[in-house]
């Protein structure tokens, strides 16, 4: 209770999320009036997953000051891990059905080979790669959704933080990691079907009889629940002493180190924790998206993630969620071609073409003039006004964000 009293935003957030979930449930075709389409329910569910990875990004960037350009890679890895099980199990169902038509029951080898050639025929192989060893088991793959991002983040983070790579260099290094992973997955012999990716993920094995409109609501609920839990967890993490330490690391890493805190350990924990949250978000996102391919983890995706968090407002959890939800929904609205064109007389603005330009410019403007992002609007409502500093830094590090200290 003490925690909730100190963090009133948590209750607000959970209440808004609950109302939103209820509203969507009542309007969804599977459970309510059908005022919105199944695909829109899926879009909303996906947006909640994106909000979840934005939360993770906010913790690692807004609180700990590590601008990671690799969290969408963890997100995609989560998607790949769940996608492997889905693809395997679903192909298994199909292969068993087709083999059952012949009079002699199939052997285990025949089924296995049937699955392998079904899945990998598209990349010219009929051999099941080693990394699919656990693909038949849902619990194992669910564990991998957590373990693989965590392990990758731990190894990479340990290497990077140990050698004191920080700031811009770390950003570039994480971007390189993402690029390396994407390039590796693009190969046909990486064992994950190259640039075809994994597809048909909207069909959940064992739930073939459940209609998509019902499934979409189930996934929406799951995404909302996961988002709520992630929010609670992160709000709890940043509200305590731990939160103070990571904020201190963001503002002056050297001083925290001299105070005797194991800075590398804190950073590593934050990096791995956020990677896990991103992975779980991905595991919920891709079954709703239906397909995952290596393009999903191109470096640009991670930069967009940073864009969402920056527009929403760093250093406050609800800001990240606001940014992700608003920008990604706006983005799908503009690129969906449903926005009316603007005739200017000499030319017509097709928003499908110009949305990216608008987003890029908006991003520059937000960075320049509203470093607190959309979350700053909340400050206006609640009447919090940081002192006008005219650019003078409060702390010793010229790169740090110090508005919080100014309030308190």
Is residue 231 involved in binding other proteins (CB under 8 A)? no
Contact track, other proteins, 145-164, x by CB under 8 A: -----------x--xx-xxx
Which 56-95 residues touch other proteins, going by CB under 8 A? 67
Q: How far is CA 230 from CA 9, 45, 174, 304, in A?
A: 14, 15, 23, 21
Is residue 370 involved in binding other proteins (CB under 8 A)? no
Is residue 103 involved in binding other proteins (CB under 8 A)? yes
CB-wise, 181 or 245, nearer to other proteins? 181
Is residue 33 involved in binding other proteins (CB under 8 A)? no
CB-wise, 367 or 407, nearer to other proteins? 367
Judged by CB under 8 A, which stretch of 26-34, 71-79, 126-134, 301-309 contacts other proteins?
301-309
* CB 225, min distance to other proteins, A: 31
Interface pick for other proteins out of 184, 207, 262, 338 (rule CB under 8 A):
184
Interface pick for other proteins out of 225, 300, 329, 378 (rule CB under 8 A):
300
Distance CA 154, CA 182 (A): 19
* CB 39, min distance to other proteins, A: 25
Judged by CB under 8 A, which stretch of 89-97, 114-122, 135-143, 392-400 contacts other proteins?
392-400
Is residue 266 involved in binding other proteins (CB under 8 A)? no
Q: With contact defined as beta carbons under 8 Å apart, do 220 and 41 qualify?
A: yes
Cβ–Cβ contacts within 10 Å for residue 89, how many? 19
Interface pick for other proteins out of 27, 165, 233, 378 (rule CB under 8 A):
165
CB-wise, 165 or 232, nearer to other proteins? 165
* CB 112, min distance to other proteins, A: 12
Distance CA 321, CA 313 (A): 9
Is residue 105 involved in binding other proteins (CB under 8 A)? yes
Strand-pair partners of 3: none
Interface pick for other proteins out of 299, 313, 319, 376 (rule CB under 8 A):
299
CB-wise, 33 or 109, nearer to other proteins? 109
Is residue 406 involved in binding other proteins (CB under 8 A)? no
* CB 256, min distance to other proteins, A: 16
Distance CA 133, CA 141 (A): 10
289: closest CA among 80, 14, 94? Answer: 80
Interface pick for other proteins out of 1, 368, 380, 381 (rule CB under 8 A):
368
Is residue 18 involved in binding other proteins (CB under 8 A)? no
Radius of gyration over every alpha carbon of the chain, rounded to an integer in angstroms: 23
Residue numbers at the binding site for other proteins (CB under 8 A): 67, 102-110, 156, 159-160, 162-165, 167-169, 171-173, 175-177, 179-181, 183-184, 186-187, 189, 299-300, 303, 306-307, 310, 353-357, 359-364, 367-368, 371, 391, 393, 398-399
């Amino acid at each position: 209770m003490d925690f909730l009293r100190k963090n009133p935003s948590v209750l607000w957030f959970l209440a808004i999320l609950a109302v939103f979930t209820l509203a969507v449930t009542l309007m969804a075709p599977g459970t309510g009036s059908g005022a919105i389409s199944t695909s829109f329910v899926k879009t909303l569910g996906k947006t909640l997953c994106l909000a979840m990875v934005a939360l993770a990004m906010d913790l690692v960037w807004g609180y700990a000051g590590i601008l990671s350009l690799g969290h969408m890679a963890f997100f995609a890895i989560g998607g790949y891990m769940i996608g492997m099980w889905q693809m395997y199990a679903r192909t298994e169902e199909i292969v068993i059905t087709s083999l059952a038509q012949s009079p002699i029951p199939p052997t285990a080898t025949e089924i296995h080979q049937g699955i392998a050639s079904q899945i990998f025929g598209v990349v010219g192989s009929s051999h099941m790669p080693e990394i699919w060893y656990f693909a038949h088991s849902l619990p194992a793959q669910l564990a991998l959704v957590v373990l693989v991002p965590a392990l990758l983040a731990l190894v990479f983070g340990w290497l990077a933080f140990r050698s004191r790579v920080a700031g811009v260099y770390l950003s570039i290094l994480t971007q390189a990691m993402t690029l390396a992973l994407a390039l590796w997955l693009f190969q046909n012999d990486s064992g994950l079907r190259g640039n075809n990716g994994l597809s048909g993920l909207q069909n959940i094995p064992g739930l073939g009889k459940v209609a998509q409109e019902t499934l979409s609501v189930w996934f929406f609920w799951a995404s909302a629940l996961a988002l709520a839990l992630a929010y609670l967890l992160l709000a709890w993490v940043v509200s305590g002493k731990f939160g103070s330490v990571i904020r201190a690391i963001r503002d002056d890493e050297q001083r925290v180190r001299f105070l005797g805190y194991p800075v590398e350990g804190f950073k590593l924990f934050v990096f791995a924790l956020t990677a896990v949250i991103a992975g779980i978000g991905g595991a919920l996102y891709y079954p709703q998206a239906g397909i995952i391919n290596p393009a999903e983890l191109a470096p640009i995706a991670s930069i967009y993630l940073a864009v969402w968090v920056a527009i929403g407002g760093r250093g406050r959890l609800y800001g990240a969620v606001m940014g992700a939800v608003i920008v990604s929904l706006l983005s799908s609205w503009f690129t969906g071609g449903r926005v009316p064109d603007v005739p200017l007389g000499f030319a017509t603005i097709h928003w499908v073409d110009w949305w990216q330009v608008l987003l890029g410019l908006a991003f520059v403007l937000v960075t320049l003039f509203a470093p607190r992002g959309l979350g700053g609007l909340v400050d206006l409502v609640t009447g919090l006004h940081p002192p006008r500093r005219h650019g003078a830094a409060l702390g010793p590090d010229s790169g740090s964000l110090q508005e919080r200290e100014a309030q308190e």
